[in-house]
Amino acid sequence: AAAAFAPSVPHVETVSPNPAPTEADIAPATWRDYLILTKPKVNSLLLVTAVMPMFMAAGGFPGWLPLVAVMVGGYLSAGAAGAINMVVDRDIDGMMKRTAHRPLVTERIPASKAVWFGFALAVASFAVLWAGANLLTALLSLAGLVFYVNIYTLLLKRRTWHNIVIGGAAGAFPPLVGWAAVTGTLSPLAWWLFAIIFVWTPAHFWALAILMKDDYARAKIPMLPVVSGVPATVLQIALYAVLTAVVSLLPLVQGLVGSWYVGVAVVLNVALVYRACTLFASSERTETLGMYLFSMLYLALLFLMLAFDRAGVGQTGALVTAGLIGLTLWYGAKKPKPTTGTVAA
């Protein structure tokens, strides 16, 4: 997952494992190092998928207390999961350039302190969500944390390429948290939002996995591109993109979403499937990176449009979404293109 919609561009050069520590690595830990443990760039997208369902469930503004509780408590919970994940993965993080300078790899933060830091965040998250929303909200957030750490990180990540397919469910908990914070229950629509993220995750993450293929191979992590190669991964990305498109339109059958949402969703889905299919014709890194970045924008805009639609202002939402897409395309055209190259199969 996901700044809100603009994470740093991954580095994809092949490097030797455990690069020499820099002066910044050797320096004592600062508050920024502890912030890194919480994975802020990834978790900002998780917050979007937690907050937008609150507006959907409320049919408008959900109220300041539950909104602030979910934003603060949700970030604390996701941060706890990130910190504990870095403790568990510190050995393999040192083998990958993208993660080689994390505070636990360079020992700026001892593993014991990181564990207590993660535990403290988890406790604080539970308290904030229970006090500001309700017990169900706190329990759902805790369940997502436990699933991510135990099922994905400890059980699946190093054992099977299905790690993302199954473990990706951890990233689908935020909509349940947001919905429960407003209603105190989980309706079929809440589970539909869960399903969207669940089927969206493989296509999103496997695009990154293609870019990081050499890193994952070096660390002996059985991501799909390492186990089955790039062509097989591209096929799976395309299939999951189509599945995501289908799932995103399911409520149309029962008339649970408005025509403005459907129109925007169709445009976003066509773009998502098109992005996925371009990977068949080209193995350029720019295409793979484009799929990875667009998939984040897709999810954020889809949830934003749903919030507008459920609030009864779908036309306004469509205009806002179109404007955001236009700004994104304009900004992307102005930015220098990353170095291209062919991703090895």
Tell me the pLDDT tens digit for each residue of 61-96.
Answer: 899 999 999 999 999 999 999 999 999 999 998 888
Phi-psi sector, 229: left (phi>0), alpha (psi -120 to 50), beta: left
How many whole angstroms separate alpha carbon 276 and alpha carbon 27? 42
Residue 339 belongs to a domain: no
Q: How far is CA 209 from CA 14, 48, 134, in A?
A: 14, 23, 37
- Other C-beta atoms closer than 10 Å to the C-beta of 338 total 15
Alpha-helical regions (H) of the chain: 23-26, 31-37, 40-58, 64-88, 90-93, 111-132, 135-146, 163-167, 173-183, 188-211, 213-218, 224-228, 230-248, 259-281, 285-310, 314-334
**Residue 14 pLDDT:** 36
Residue 254 belongs to a domain: yes
Q: Residue 339: pLDDT above 80?
A: no
Residue 9 belongs to a domain: no
How many whole angstroms separate alpha carbon 255 and alpha carbon 260? 12
Dig out the tokens for 288 from the structure.
Answer: 């793979």
Kindly report the average pLDDT of the chain as a whole number: 84
Closest CA to 165 of 213, 206, 214: 206
Residue 161 belongs to a domain: yes
**Residue 27 pLDDT:** 66
Lowest mean pLDDT among 156-165, 276-285, 333-342: 333-342
Q: Tell me what the mean pLDDT of segment 283-298 comes to.
A: 85
How many whole angstroms separate alpha carbon 32 and alpha carbon 29? 8
Burial of 64 (0-12, 13-18, 19+ CB in 10 A): exposed
**Residue 313 pLDDT:** 66
How many whole angstroms separate alpha carbon 125 and alpha carbon 196? 25
Q: Residue 198: pLDDT above 70?
A: yes
Q: Residue 99: pLDDT above 70?
A: yes
Q: Give percent of the chain with pLDDT exceeding 90.
A: 60
Q: How far is CA 174 from CA 22, 67, 143, 244, 249, in A?
A: 36, 13, 11, 17, 20
Residue 7 belongs to a domain: no
Residue 211 belongs to a domain: yes
Q: Residue 101: pLDDT above 90?
A: no
Residue 143 belongs to a domain: yes
How many whole angstroms separate alpha carbon 142 and alpha carbon 148? 10
Q: Which residues constitute the domain of residue 143?
A: 23-334
**Residue 98 pLDDT:** 83
Q: What is the CATH number of the domain that holds 285?
A: 1.10.600
**Where residue 252 falls among pLDDT bands split at 50, 70, 90?**
confident
Radius of gyration of the chain (CA): 20
Residue 230 belongs to a domain: yes
Q: Give percent of the chain with pLDDT exceeding 70.
A: 82
**Residue 334 pLDDT:** 46
Tokens 């097989």 sit on residue: 232
The domain tally of the chain equals 1
